[in-house]
Amino acid sequence: MNPAGPDTEVVTHVVTDFRLDQARESRLALYCAGAYLLVIVYASLSPFTGWATPGVPPLAFLDEPWPRRWQRFDLFINGAAYLPLGLLLTLATMRWMRPAFAVLLATLAGAALSFALETAQMYLPGRVASSVDLMLNAAGTLLGTLLAVRTGRMPFWTSVRDLRRRWCLPGRVAEPGLALVALWFLTQLDPSLPLMSLRALPATVPIPGTGFIPPREFSVGSALAVAVNTLAVGLFVMALMRRRWHALVAMLSLLAMAVLIKFGAGLAMLKAEAVFIWLSDEVLVGIGAGVVLAAVMVALPRMAVAGVGIFVLCCSFVSIHLYENPLQPLEALWPFRWNYGQLLNYTGLARTVAELWPLAAAAYLFRLRRLLRRGALPGIAPAAGPAR
């Protein structure tokens, strides 16, 4: 018997049911799953050129013998790439069905997607379809589904949902924006590019035959690109937050996570002399300038923050296409210590997401401004800035 009395039990059940209802109403996992699915499609079919009819049946890859030698990189990538998809699909479908059915549905969806993409690769001479990849993709999806069932009801996720409700805009308005924030981290996966920028630093190729990178002059254009991207991301996150100090903490946390991603990717993928190629004077100056500008704009009304954010995001998109990268694809891979051809697709994925993300983020802020103008957000005044 509960020593606190039956009233306490009733309150406990009410709070628990409320949290479960909030979790079921959340579509964040579904938005993230959709975004990640698009990422998988791009990574599997890039560079989308050279389509040709294969000289064998499209499903001939299912009958091919297994390779005599196994590449650890291929095994790891093909399994790990589909793990987040299985995780997100299961978390999304558990809102409507039992965990066992969610696991079955997500696993079948991941396997079907892999089968379709492997079949499509038969029409791309630059890609190699493989039954081994199909099995590893399905296994990775299954592992992700089991991980979702095992961890989906942990108190940690309840705390994360409660934190999101307290810090972010109400209802489902913030969830597409949070999915875009999660997608933005993919832009930082290429450790050969500067932190918070898609613009490669000039003269970063070492002298042939040596690992020495010659000194160069400070690049104002590169620092400006970093500052613009930092400000754009900061304003986007700021528009999602309820309070001003929430916005500052979220922006600094995002920068810290981006540094960790770059550092981890650099340790895992780059040569010893290029581990910190993503960090430079231009990066430090640009991030400092972007953070200061974002901190000044935190006092603006939310409508103004969204409007300025749209403008800066458009500037970020334009700045990406204002210059031609002087490095050829193979030359751009010199910092990597892995010599696998998949690196071309890996770096291309990060660059493509970085090119398209400003447009998607600007479209979201445009929709947010319309909701604010109509007063469709309860408790959020369009002319008021984030609360203190």
- The residue count of the chain comes to 388
Shared domain for 225 and 264, answered yes or no, is: yes
DSSP symbols for 215-250: -----HHHHHHHHHHHHHHHHHHHHHBSBHHHHHHH
Shared domain for 315 and 336, answered yes or no, is: yes
348 part of a folded domain: yes
Dig out the tokens for 117 from the structure: 């993409």
The yes-or-no verdict on residue 373 having pLDDT over 60 is yes
The larger pLDDT score, comparing residue 139 to residue 70, is at 139
How many domains does the structure of the chain reveal? 2
Shared domain for 186 and 311, answered yes or no, is: yes
Shared domain for 39 and 110, answered yes or no, is: yes
| Cβ proximity of 82 and 110 under 8 Å | yes
185 part of a folded domain: yes
How far apart (Å, rounded) are the C-alpha atoms in residues 295 and 181?
Answer: 19
386 part of a folded domain: no
Confidence of residue 333 (pLDDT cuts 50, 70, 90): low
Shared domain for 98 and 157, answered yes or no, is: yes
What pLDDT is recorded for position 332? 58
388 part of a folded domain: no
How far apart (Å, rounded) are the C-alpha atoms in residues 80 and 40?
Answer: 12
What pLDDT is recorded for position 2? 46
Shared domain for 38 and 120, answered yes or no, is: yes
Shared domain for 151 and 191, answered yes or no, is: no
Model pLDDT for residues 287-308, shown as the tens digit of each residue:
999 999 999 998 888 899 999 9
The larger pLDDT score, comparing residue 240 to residue 5, is at 240
Shared domain for 185 and 149, answered yes or no, is: no
Q: Is the peptide bond before 208 cis (omega within 30 degrees of 0)?
A: no
Shared domain for 145 and 228, answered yes or no, is: no
Mean pLDDT of 212-223: 74
The larger pLDDT score, comparing residue 48 to residue 361, is at 361
Report the alpha-carbon angle 86-90-93, nearest 5: 140
Highest mean pLDDT among 33-47, 97-111, 334-348 belongs to 97-111
Which residues span the domain enclosing 229? 173-205+216-374
Shared domain for 185 and 103, answered yes or no, is: no
The yes-or-no verdict on residue 16 having pLDDT over 60 is no
Dig out the tokens for 381 from the structure: 């005044």
> Taking the chain, what is the end-to-end CA distance rounded to the nearest angstrom?
44
What pLDDT is recorded for position 342? 56
Mean pLDDT of 20-36: 71
Shared domain for 182 and 330, answered yes or no, is: yes
168 part of a folded domain: no
379 part of a folded domain: no
> Alpha helices, DSSP H only, in 210-341?
220-240, 244-269, 281-297, 302-320
382 part of a folded domain: no
Mean pLDDT of 26-41: 86
Domain stops at, among 163, 192, 225: 163
Mean pLDDT of 164-182: 85
The larger pLDDT score, comparing residue 304 to residue 64, is at 304
Mean pLDDT of 229-257: 91
Report the alpha-carbon angle 344-348-353, nearest 5: 160
Confidence of residue 24 (pLDDT cuts 50, 70, 90): very low
The yes-or-no verdict on residue 21 having pLDDT over 50 is no
- Give the whole-number percent of the chain exceeding pLDDT 90: 32
Shared domain for 196 and 48, answered yes or no, is: no
What pLDDT is recorded for position 293? 94
387 part of a folded domain: no
The yes-or-no verdict on residue 341 having pLDDT over 70 is no
